[in-house]
Amino acid sequence: MGRLPCCEKGLVKKGAWTPEEDQILVDYITKHGHGTWRSLPKLAGLPRCGKSCRLRWTNYLRPDIKRGPFTPEEENTIIQLHGMIGNKWAVIASKLPGRTDNEVKNFWNSHLKKRFFFLGHNLQASGPTSIDMKSKSPLTSHMSQWESARVEAEARLSMDSFIKPSPPSKPDCDYFLPSMEFRGWRVISKDYTSNGDADELMMAGSDSSNAYDQLADSSDSALNMLLDFPSGDDMGFLQGQTRDDISIFLDH
């Protein structure tokens, strides 16, 4: 009973692929297609597990793989989608032609995550506060609005994957919620329920009141970081906000 192992341990080779193995795999798939991955290694004469063959093909040997560094546009798309849907690497990769989920995941873990961790760390470094943010109705209102907007955006994305075969070359800020997430915090740039007329700073998190507390107590240097954060068009989540605007917002 139970599932058969996908490959017999000890009989399959592991580790880095050789150019010869690559060639065998490419030749076989070019001629026959991959068919059933499980049976491919035997048919192709490769001492590899079917899963390993699939991974090698989809992540490296596929002819439509795009190589080279990520462009700023691709970077922004990853940031926006990750802020909206989290670690759904396959979904994010599907919006980046020629990129694989593994590549996107590695790029996020080695480049982008650090950037947001740094920003989040500096915000949190200022410590807790005694301000009772729950009593501030505009903020709690925004929090609930944000949650509904997020649900709506997720549903929209899900629907869109059926309707639109390819993504827009540049994400539309009215379409994707421009957002960032770090250490459970989330920053989004639009009050999505107001037809996008007014850009606002909104923050929420799994423990939203705590997140607001910490933001409310953020130091001057944290404010400077927010204002200095390199914001291109797609990352302009503080667009239109002056330093005083944010200070006033945080004070209320």
Q: Which residues bind DNA (CB under 7 A)?
A: 1, 3-4, 6, 13-17, 35-39, 48-52, 54-56, 58-60, 87-91, 101-103, 105-107, 109-111, 114
121-125 contacts, C-beta under 8 A, 24 or more apart = 121/183, 122/221, 122/222, 122/225, 123/185, 123/214, 123/215, 123/218, 123/222, 123/225, 123/226, 124/183, 124/214, 125/219, 125/222
Beta carbon of residue 155, minimum distance to DNA (angstroms, whole number): 16
Beta carbon of residue 93, minimum distance to DNA (angstroms, whole number): 8
| Comparison of 35 and 98: residue with beta carbon closer to DNA | 35
CA distance 18 to 37: 19
The number of beta carbons lying within 10 Å of the beta carbon of residue 151 is 10
| Comparison of 90 and 151: residue with beta carbon closer to DNA | 90
Beta carbon of residue 214, minimum distance to DNA (angstroms, whole number): 24
Beta carbon of residue 139, minimum distance to DNA (angstroms, whole number): 29
| Comparison of 93 and 215: residue with beta carbon closer to DNA | 93
CA distance 14 to 10: 9
| Comparison of 57 and 176: residue with beta carbon closer to DNA | 57
Beta carbon of residue 99, minimum distance to DNA (angstroms, whole number): 11
User: CB-based burial of residue 99 (10 Å sphere; 0-12 exposed, 13-18 middle, 19+ buried)?
Assistant: buried
| Comparison of 113 and 136: residue with beta carbon closer to DNA | 113
